[in-house]
């Protein structure tokens, strides 16, 4: 059966194309940083938003028109797999990601849930034999079912902790079976609502115990995927333990897990934490912990995780700036943890959304690459900190200074002169690069 009937394979037609179902800027064959764009960007489709998402919101029912809407149970799950591989092929995308709960129906009986999962995993494995699309990461949903209402690995109930362990154990086996390159831990309800009923120390200790056990088991079965923590400050809980990269890093270091994990950074989670997307990427990068990206964007007028497809060129440019400086994402990729709006209910909208996101990141990549080639920010920043390359500054950096030598230096100073930070000039320069990138590709 064909699910996306009127859609042909999406190809690169270039910026002058007026075909809405074509890539204008994302050219998989073009080279970025010495690699094919496809291999450098490593785009992924997220199964939950694209195939499982129904368009519900707290006020309204499902709106998405999908060819498999009338099916249920395993039949629905199977139809979604068929549709997904047709979608991957038509979009020509190299990766996908899923939660266990997205691909197979979960029941109250764990063995039955595992049986459902096995059936669908076998089907996916079969499709993967002939598809170019690989699994970027999988994860376990430990937040939707009512059993997780107080958390999973941080639940106050040891039975829930054990249930979560069983789910992740299975998830690691599934990851190995499908050759997943990463395994993600987003702390769905790993946080708390009020200290009046919470033993935070025990919850954090347990979370660390859980992660150590997960790594031990992955080692035991020879599953060498990169483990990733996906920080988020709030939603669904009021205080999520993996608030942001810095908080996540402190936790990992505290519990001896810093060599086990890297971070999967989501744009909308960064903004919910009061940071920019590039801030989170930067913090992870300078600490050697930038693993993967959930590409989306929030809405500055709304205070929640709106998971919109990324179209903001400033954001994609500054994100790709960090990613190029990181020499790419290693085993990670750019996963569209993004959903079409409730009113964009046609199957065709799924294509428009992904094309918009891939093109926005492709433009961002081109601009970022030029900024780096011309060393626009690099040289400015180097000059701004040049006082640390000689004299007393070099002494500080090389560990040769102490409070005696610094006091002596300070006493000998006349009036201190500072240099302007030139923010407005730099922002105008960024505008110039974005516009020039357009002008050159449009020529």
- Please identify, using beta-carbon distances, which residue of 173 and 190 lies nearer to ligand XUL: 190
Q: Which two structure tokens, joined as six digits, stand for 426?
A: 């730099």
How far apart are the two ends of the chain, measured CA to CA in Å? Answer: 42
Examine the residue annotation and report whether 299 is marked as an active-site residue of this protein: no
Ligand-binding site membership of 29 (annotated): no
- Please identify, using beta-carbon distances, which residue of 28 and 291 lies nearer to Co ion: 291
Query: How is residue 95 annotated by DSSP?
Result: E
Identify the residue among 86, 106, 173, 266 touching Co ion (CB under 5 A): 266
Dihedral in degrees, nearest 10, Cα atoms 72, 73, 76, 82: -170
- Contact mark string toward ligand XUL, 276..315, x via CB under 6 A: ------------------x----------x----------
Which among ligand XUL, Co ion, none contacts residue 139 (Cβ within 5 to 8 A by kind)? ligand XUL
CB atoms within 10 A of CB 179: 12
Judge if the upstream peptide bond of residue 236 is cis by omega within 30 degrees of 0.
yes
- Contact mark string toward ligand XUL, 333..352, x via CB under 6 A: ----x---------------
Active site residue: 102, 242, 244, 359, which one?
102
Write down the least CB distance from residue 280 to Co ion, Å: 12
Ligand-binding site membership of 359 (annotated): no
- Contact mark string toward ligand XUL, 259..278, x via CB under 6 A: -------x------------
- Please identify, using beta-carbon distances, which residue of 280 and 294 lies nearer to Co ion: 294
Rounded Cα distance between 436 and 443, Å, is 11
| 3 state SS of 438 | helix
Ligand-binding site membership of 337 (annotated): yes
Say how many residues touch Co ion, by CB under 5 A: 3
Rounded Cα distance between 134 and 243, Å, is 30
294 binds Co ion (CB under 5 A): yes
Candidate segments 99-107, 258-266, 318-326, 346-354, binder of Co ion by CB under 5 A: 258-266
- Please identify, using beta-carbon distances, which residue of 86 and 305 lies nearer to ligand XUL: 305
List of residues 6+ apart from 364 with CB closer than 8 A: 313, 315, 316, 317, 318, 319, 320
- Contact mark string toward Co ion, 325..344, x via CB under 5 A: ------------x-------
Ligand-binding site membership of 299 (annotated): no
The three-point CA angle 175-95-260 to 5° equals 45
Active site residue: 49, 92, 99, 359, which one?
99
Residues 169-208 close enough to bind ligand XUL by CB under 6 A: 184, 186
Residues 141-160 close enough to bind ligand XUL by CB under 6 A: none
Ligand-binding site membership of 374 (annotated): no
307 binds Co ion (CB under 5 A): no
Candidate segments 8-16, 287-295, 372-380, 383-391, binder of Co ion by CB under 5 A: 287-295
- Please identify, using beta-carbon distances, which residue of 64 and 293 lies nearer to ligand XUL: 293
230 binds ligand XUL (CB under 6 A): yes
Burial of 386 (0-12, 13-18, 19+ CB in 10 A): exposed
- Please identify, using beta-carbon distances, which residue of 266 and 359 lies nearer to ligand XUL: 266
Contact between residue 314 and residue 428 where contact means Cβ atoms under 8 Å apart: no
244 binds Co ion (CB under 5 A): no
Residue with tokens 């988020």: 232
Q: Which of 301, 403, 314 is nearest to 364 (CA)?
A: 314
Ligand-binding site membership of 379 (annotated): no
Q: Which two structure tokens, joined as six digits, stand for 311?
A: 């179209």
Which among Co ion, ligand XUL, none contacts residue 232 (Cβ within 5 to 8 A by kind)? ligand XUL
Phi, psi for residue 221 in degrees, rounded to 5: -95, 5
Write down the least CB distance from residue 399 to ligand XUL, Å: 41
Ligand-binding site membership of 230 (annotated): yes
Rounded Cα distance between 319 and 44, Å, is 16
Distances from the Cα of 122 to the Cαs of 48, 116, 126, 132, 320, in angstroms?
19, 10, 6, 17, 36
Examine the residue annotation and report whether 224 is marked as an active-site residue of this protein: no
Contact between residue 226 and residue 182 where contact means Cβ atoms under 8 Å apart: yes
Distances from the Cα of 394 to the Cαs of 81, 141, 391, in angstroms?
59, 50, 5
Binding residues for Mg(2+): 230, 266, 269, 294, 305, 307, 337
Binding residues: 230, 266, 269, 294, 305, 307, 337
Enzyme catalytic residues: 99, 102
Binding-site ranges for ligand XUL (CB under 6 A): 99, 139, 184, 186, 230, 232, 266, 294, 305, 337
């Amino acid at each position: 059966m064909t699910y996306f009937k009127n859609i042909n394979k999406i190809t690169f037609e270039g910026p002058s194309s007026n075909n809405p179902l074509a890539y204008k800027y994302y050219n998989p064959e073009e080279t970025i940083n010495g690699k094919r764009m496809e291999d450098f960007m490593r785009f992924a489709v997220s199964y939950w938003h694209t195939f499982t998402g129904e368009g519900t919101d707290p006020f309204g029912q499902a709106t998405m028109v999908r060819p498999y809407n009338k099916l249920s149970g395993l039949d629905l799950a199977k139809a979604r797999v068929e549709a997904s591989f047709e979608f991957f092929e038509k979009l020509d995308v190299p990766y996908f990601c899923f939660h266990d709960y997205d691909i197979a129906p979960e029941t109250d009986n764990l063995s039955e849930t595992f049986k459902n999962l096995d059936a669908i995993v076998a089907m996916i494995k079969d499709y993967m034999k002939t598809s170019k699309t690989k699994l970027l990461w999988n994860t376990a949903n430990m937040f939707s079912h009512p059993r997780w209402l107080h958390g999973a690995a941080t639940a106050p109930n040891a039975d829930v902790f054990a249930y979560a362990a069983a789910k992740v154990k299975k998830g690691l086996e599934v990851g190995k079976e499908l050759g997943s390159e990463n395994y993600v831990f987003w702390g769905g309800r790993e946080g708390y609502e009020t200290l009046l009923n919470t033993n935070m120390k025990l919850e954090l200790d347990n979370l660390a115990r859980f992660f150590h056990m997960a790594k031990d088991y992955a080692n035991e079965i020879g599953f060498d995927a990169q483990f990733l923590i996906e920080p988020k400050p709030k939603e669904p809980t009021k205080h999520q333990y993996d608030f942001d990269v810095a908080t996540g890093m402190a936790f990992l270091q505290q519990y001896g897990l810093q060599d086990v994990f890297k971070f999967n950074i989501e744009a909308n989670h960064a903004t919910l934490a009061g940071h920019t997307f590039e801030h989170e990427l930067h913090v992870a990068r300078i600490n050697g912990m930038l693993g993967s990206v959930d590409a989306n964007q929030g809405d500055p007028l709304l205070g929640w995780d709106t998971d919109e497809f990324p179209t903001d060129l400033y954001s994609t440019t500054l994100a790709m700036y960090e990613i190029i400086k990181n020499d790419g994402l290693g085993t990670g990729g750019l996963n569209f943890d993004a959903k079409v709006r409730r009113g964009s209910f046609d199957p065709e909208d799924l294509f428009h959304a992904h094309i918009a996101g891939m093109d926005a990141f492709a433009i961002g990549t081109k601009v970022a690459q030029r900024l780096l080639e011309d060393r626009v920010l690099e040289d400015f920043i180097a000059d701004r900190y040049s006082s640390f390359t000689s004299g007393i500054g070099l002494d500080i950096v090389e560990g040769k200074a102490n409070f005696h030598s610094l006091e002596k230096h300070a006493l000998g100073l006349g009036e201190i002169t500072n240099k302007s930070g030139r923010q407005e000039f730099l922002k105008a320069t960024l505008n110039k690069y974005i516009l020039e990138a357009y002008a050159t590709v449009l020529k």
